[in-house]
A and B are shown apart, each in its own frame.
Chain A
């Protein structure tokens, strides 16, 4: 069964450093999402992406965050200058279409720890 994959599985970084989290979507999926989950809390929407453009973003997704699909396969989330409060699990999700009732498939996540 096709799966969304994410790398790395764990990332430890110093505050102020840049990190790039990578996601490989299911091959025929065109809609991409990033969510995060702070330890013990609920999953929160960050951004949705389609046709090389952000379609919607949350308040969390400030100027320190960016997304792109650099090579047509990977979908990346970049945090330019990490803060302690960016420590969380980051999940990529993908869907075949953007319809509100289209199932999103989640990757296993990247655990980011900012020291």
Chain B
């Protein structure tokens, strides 16, 4: 069935460190993955996405890695800042559905200490 899960519920880092947030998915048919950031009291905010025909995609200070062999997704944040503190969700969507239906993981809370 569809399920997206996260390995760690909370990640604490020091400002300036690199952060790595992991996500496992179980649906091998999933072919599009998105990372969202959710700050307290706000809705999920799109960070970066990746298609299944890629294994890496880079954005501004963020990199997403996809390992389809082990069905694993990670978000790397370079030079983590206090403003990066939030809950991070991975989500998946299947191409063969007519419309989007995002399936979210449980979320990882990132705490950045100054």
In the complex, A81→B3 CA distance in Å?
30
A108 to B46, CA, bound (A): 13
Q: Report, as a range, how many residues of chain B touch the other chain.
A: 20 to 34
* Contact residue among A50, A107, A109 (Cβ-Cβ distance under 8 Å from B99): A50
Whether A109 and B42, one on each chain, are in contact in the complex, defined by CB atoms closer than 8 angstroms, is yes
| Chain A CB within 8 A of B60 CB | no
Q: Are A105 and B100 in contact (CB under 8 A)?
A: no
Residue numbers in A under 8 Å from B101 (CB-CB): 45, 48, 56, 58
Given A42-B105, A45-B102, A45-B103, also A100-B43 (CB < 8 A): no
Q: Is B43 a contact of A48 with CB atoms below 8 Å?
A: no
User: Which A residues are CB-close (under 8 A) to B107?
Assistant: 42
From known contacts A42-B106, A106-B43, A106-B45, infer whether A55 and B99 are also in contact, taking CB-CB under 8 Å.
yes
Binding site for A on B (CB under 8 A): 31-32, 34, 36, 41-46, 49, 51, 89, 91, 93-107
Binding site for B on A (CB under 8 A): 4, 31, 33, 35, 41-45, 48, 50, 55-56, 58, 91, 93, 95, 98-109
